[in-house]
Structure 1
Amino acid sequence: MRHAAALFTLLICLSIWGGQSTAQSTRIGPVQTPILTIDSDRLFAESAFGKRVVEEFEARGATLAAENRRIEEALSAEEKALTETRETLPPADFRLLADEFDEKVQATRRTQDAKTRDLNVALEGRRVVFLNAAAPILETLMRESGAAVILERRSIFLSATAIDITRTAIARLDSVLGDGIAAPEQP
């Protein structure tokens, strides 16, 4: 039902847009329409700002993955050494050591999982910084197009490609923000 309502609204807008004069519809520049669409994931991923952030976080993720591998190797070696001592210790002593090792493994897992979550939260924070920096540029594109709204492309069942401003927005963002180094960012 929601898709049908969105499709109906879109068809009305397209019929209004389609009724514009030929001179207006062939003009160079942003299409004149009350509704625009954008793919925000593509906007971030293909912009210079987004590419820099993704590259930075991929490097941080690779460092964390390497750390996880080192920890896993050390814990495996420790587990092997513990297993080898099993025959030389009384069962109660071995159980105590095994329980301590298990707690160490669980604590390490919690710590490393928290680092992964923190990394993901920080990446999402950078996306928010990006979208906040992009807002004035998108508002300008909206005004230039005579639009009243920019909708997320994934939320629309069907639309004319002419109303998608993702490529134009990326070009504008790159010219204004560049890779975002000068933009204020939060960790």
Structure 2
Amino acid sequence: MVVGSPFLIINQERLLTGSKAGQEILAEEERQRDQLRAEARALDASFEAEERQLTEQRPTLPAEQFRRLSDAFDARVVEARRKQDERAGALAQEFDQRRRQFYARIAPILVTLMDRYQAKAIFDETSVLLADQSLNITAAVIAEIDARGAEPVPPDAPTPGEKTDGGD
């Protein structure tokens, strides 16, 4: 590590994937994605069974009654898929919020390490075209996150600077 360098480099993604707090966030995201996928598979199976039943009833129903049942079925499928898409979008927003909170929470660690290395700026490795890897402090940041026992941020916690309902 170069002390006194004006610039340092980190890999933000590795901070998330390499730290215990980040791994907990990622594990929770995966659990929630798995739950949403399982619900979607169950819904699909239910609709497939209902579609088979409707198809079997078709020869015994008057055309108008079958059309009403078929249209109602189609409307339920479209609505269920719309709701699943909304839930997936909301989940993606929640994941993004958690990650922003994680990075906001580790900002003081980055400031501490900037001071320790007498740096003026930290760049993400993905934004740097070419650099001496001795400037990369990702491992040191991960070690500091884990040493401080940084807890994962709860999904409903406000981000720093975000107003809460505390009567401001």
TM, length-normalised to structure 1:
0.78
From 105, 122, 132, the equivalent of 1:133 is 105
Please tell me the residue identity of whatever aligns with 1:74.
S
Contact 2:9/2:135 (8 A) holds in 1: yes
From 72, 80, 98, the equivalent of 1:100 is 72
In the aligned structure 2, how far is the partner of 1:46 from the partner of 1:117?
26
Task: State the SS of the aligned residue for 2:122.
Answer: strand
Structure 1 residue 151 displacement after superposition: 0.8
Matches within 5 A, 1:1-187: 31-178=3-150, 180=151, 186=156
Identity of aligned residues (%): 36
Q: Which has the higher helix share?
A: 1
In the aligned structure 2, how far is the partner of 1:143 from the partner of 1:30?
13
Partner of 1:21: none
Structure 1 residue 126 displacement after superposition: 1.1
Task: State the SS of the aligned residue for 2:123.
Answer: strand
Partner of 1:26: none
TM, length-normalised to structure 2:
0.87
Task: State the SS of the aligned residue for 1:58.
Answer: helix
Contact 2:11/2:126 (8 A) holds in 1: yes
In the aligned structure 2, how far is the partner of 1:116 from the partner of 1:136?
32
In the aligned structure 2, how far is the partner of 1:184 from the partner of 1:69?
28
Task: State the SS of the aligned residue for 1:36.
Answer: strand
**1:37-70 alpha-carbon deviations (Å, 9 max, x no partner):** 1110111111111111111121121122111111
User: Please, what is the CA RMSD of the aligned residues?
Assistant: 1.6
Please tell me the residue identity of whatever aligns with 2:136.
D
In the aligned structure 1, how far is the partner of 2:7 from the partner of 2:67?
67
For structure 2, list consecutive stretches of 5 or more residues without a partner in the other structure.
Answer: 158-168
Structure possessing the higher relative contact order (Cα contacts under 8 Å, 6 or more residues apart):
2
In the aligned structure 1, how far is the partner of 2:18 from the partner of 2:75?
44
- The structure-2 alpha-carbon separation of the partners of 1:93 and 1:185, relative to structure 1 and needing over 3 Å to count, comes to closer
Q: What count of residue pairs does the alignment treat as equivalent?
A: 157
- The structure-2 alpha-carbon separation of the partners of 1:128 and 1:48, relative to structure 1 and needing over 3 Å to count, comes to same
Structure 1 residue 146 displacement after superposition: 1.3
